[in-house]
């Protein structure tokens, strides 16, 4: 979907503007390359096991590659409770009409999802005489597509889930969420699922994974992946030369080496960077046992 100038301020407030800029730099996903790395993924440590040791995608990589915020409030909630709330507390489709001005045709609706094609056809072109409220409606649609298709894509690849309605209801509050840590949690979860032999389709923020591979393994970087720009998913250069100053702020840098949990709704995954200290210029010590979250039921 085109990035209209009047929508940009809402994306900047949400901390998603750098991600949106990547739409003009999109590259095809190399499934063979990703599958080769997934074969070396260890779910218990969230690291790739290589001949030279362990490595992984970290919060630093998310900030560098996609320019996403990695601190503030988690993107969380139980989807079962969410659906009960949406159906009984405030009907989902009543809320949908309030936020987007109309309802999709029944043929475009399935349970708590809407077809991508309806959003794309309905909100692709912002009218030149759009009012401020109309711009907000189009901004919600753009952000919804951005989150569903680019950052938190799942195997239901042609539908948008209504889980995002509570977030879109207040565009001014979108910037207080840690979209970067949520994206990394979702990538970890998808990589762990993809290691199962019966899984055939890849899911998750694959642009992040592939760009990380190109950046960390330059010998397999394709020709042409050498432009100067930020986020790094659009280029391959010296970091200090192009990185956005806000990414290098101390409050963000302190989180890069934090051993902590990453949250995306019901997905909770460990950020075990103590196993990949050479990625931060450190010397690798004998790693501690892999962390594990045991669900008590």
Tokens, residue 13 = 């407030």
Which neighbouring-strand residues pair with 217?
A: none
106 contacts: CB under 8 Å, gap ≥ 6: none
Instruction: Specify if 289 maps to a domain.
Output: no
Instruction: Specify if 293 maps to a domain.
Output: no
Host domain of residue 46: 5-280
Instruction: Specify if 270 maps to a domain.
Output: yes
> Contact at 8 Å (CB) between 256 and 250?
no
Instruction: Specify if 295 maps to a domain.
Output: no
Q: How far apart are the C-alpha atoms of 134 and 190, rounded to whole Å?
A: 36
> Contact at 8 Å (CB) between 54 and 226?
no
Q: How far apart are the C-alpha atoms of 281 and 239, rounded to whole Å?
A: 14
Instruction: Specify if 240 maps to a domain.
Output: yes
Instruction: Specify if 288 maps to a domain.
Output: no
One-letter-per-residue 3-state SS of the chain = CCCCCCCHHHHHHHCCHHHHHHHHHCCCCCHHHHHHHHCCEECCCCEEEECCEEECCCHHHHHHHHCCCCCCECECCCHHHHHHHHHHHCCHHHHHHHHHCCCCCHHHEECCEEEHHHHHHHHCCCCCCCCHHHHHHHHHHHHHHHHHHHHCCCCCCCEEEHHHHHHHCCHHHHHHECHHHHHHHHHHHHHHHHCCCCCCCCCCCHHHHHHHHHHHCHHHCCCCCCCCCCCHHHCCCCHHHHCCHHHHCHHHHHHHCCCEEEEECCEEEEECHHHCHHHHCCCCCCCCCCCCCCCCC
Which pTM does this prediction carry? 0.87
Instruction: Specify if 218 maps to a domain.
Output: yes
Instruction: Specify if 167 maps to a domain.
Output: yes
Q: Count CB neighbours of 265 within 10 A.
A: 18
Q: How far apart are the C-alpha atoms of 181 and 187, rounded to whole Å?
A: 10
Task: Name the domain count of the chain.
Answer: 1
Return per-residue pLDDT of the chain as tens, 297 residues: 788 999 999 999 999 998 888 876 666 788 899 999 999 999 999 999 999 889 999 999 998 888 898 988 999 875 555 556 555 556 778 888 999 999 999 999 988 889 999 999 999 999 999 999 999 999 999 999 999 888 998 876 688 888 888 889 889 999 999 999 999 999 999 999 888 777 667 888 988 999 899 888 888 887 766 654 555 555 555 555 666 666 666 667 788 888 999 999 888 999 999 999 888 888 888 877 887 765 443
Q: How far apart are the C-alpha atoms of 24 and 60, rounded to whole Å?
A: 23
The pLDDT of residue 147 is: 92
C-alpha distances out from residue 158 to 23, 148, 149, 236, 288, Å: 18, 9, 8, 31, 41
């Amino acid at each position: 979907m085109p990035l209209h100038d009047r929508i940009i301020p809402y994306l900047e407030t949400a901390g998603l503007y750098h991600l949106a800029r990547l739409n003009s730099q999109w590259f095809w996903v190399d499934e063979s390359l990703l599958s080769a790395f997934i074969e070396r993924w260890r779910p218990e440590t969230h690291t790739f096991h290589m001949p030279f040791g362990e490595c992984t995608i970290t919060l630093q990589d998310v900030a560098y590659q996609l320019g996403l915020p990695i601190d503030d409030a988690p993107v969380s909630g139980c989807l079962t409770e969410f659906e009960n709330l949406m159906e009984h507390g405030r009907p989902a489709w009543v809320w949908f009409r309030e936020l987007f001005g109309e309802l999709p045709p029944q043929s475009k609706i399935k349970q708590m999802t809407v077809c991508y094609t309806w959003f794309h056809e309905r909100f692709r072109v912002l009218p030149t005489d759009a009012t401020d409220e109309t711009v907000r409606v189009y901004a919600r649609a753009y952000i919804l597509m951005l989150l569903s298709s680019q950052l938190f894509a799942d195997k239901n690849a042609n539908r948008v889930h209504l889980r995002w309605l509570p977030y879109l209801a207040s565009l001014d509050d979108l910037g207080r969420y840690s979209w970067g840590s949520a994206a990394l949690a979702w990538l970890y979860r998808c990589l762990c699922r993809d290691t199962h032999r019966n899984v055939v389709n890849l899911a998750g923020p694959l642009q992040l994974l592939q760009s990380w591979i190109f950046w960390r393994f330059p010998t397999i970087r394709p020709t042409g992946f050498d432009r100067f720009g930020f986020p790094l998913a659009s280029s391959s250069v010296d970091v200090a030369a192009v990185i956005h100053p806000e990414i290098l702020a101390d409050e963000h840098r302190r989180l890069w080496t934090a051993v902590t949990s990453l949250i995306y709704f019901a997905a909770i995954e460990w950020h075990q960077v103590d196993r990949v200290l050479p990625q931060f210029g450190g010397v690798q010590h004998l790693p501690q046992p892999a962390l594990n979250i045991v669900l008590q039921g």
